[in-house]
Structure 1
Amino acid sequence: MNQVSDKICVYFEEFNRGHNAFEPDLLAPHVSDSLVGTGPGGAIQVVSKEDYLTGTAKSEAYLHSLGSQFVKTVPS
């Protein structure tokens, strides 16, 4: 069984913290300059880092309206 390094574990802890807080400053280190995202209708699109971070407040309201409580991503 492979051990996950402490550095990787810290990365995922920070990633989860940023996504659960919907804080652009916490999310910024974990987002590349362009990324693939989807909207509520399922359309896939390339999103700039700036647009992604700007939309975090809107995402929070939408995800909470669906009953989302938190994100938990774990390395394996």
Structure 2
Amino acid sequence: YCRADGFVTPAVMLDHSLALSLGGTNDESNLIASCAKCNSDKAKAEIAFIRRGHDPRDVYLDAGLRVWFDKVKRPT
């Protein structure tokens, strides 16, 4: 999940790439295995985005959250 160099942590959680609260679905294409820290950090960023008064549908436009979406590494 995290592409940081040298960061190796087991993916023990099933995360929604786009959170359900932001309009994501339970479709397989929106699910990704993640480590607990990345899952928690991403959730905090999503909450901060909403608290700043942004429309949840614009989550992909937010530069801070886009970093998380760009990190998602799906199996090929």
Q: Check whether TM > 0.5.
A: no
What is the TM-score when the length of structure 2 is the normalising length? 0.31
TM-score (norm 1): 0.31
Based on CA coordinates, which of the two structures has the bigger radius of gyration?
Answer: 1
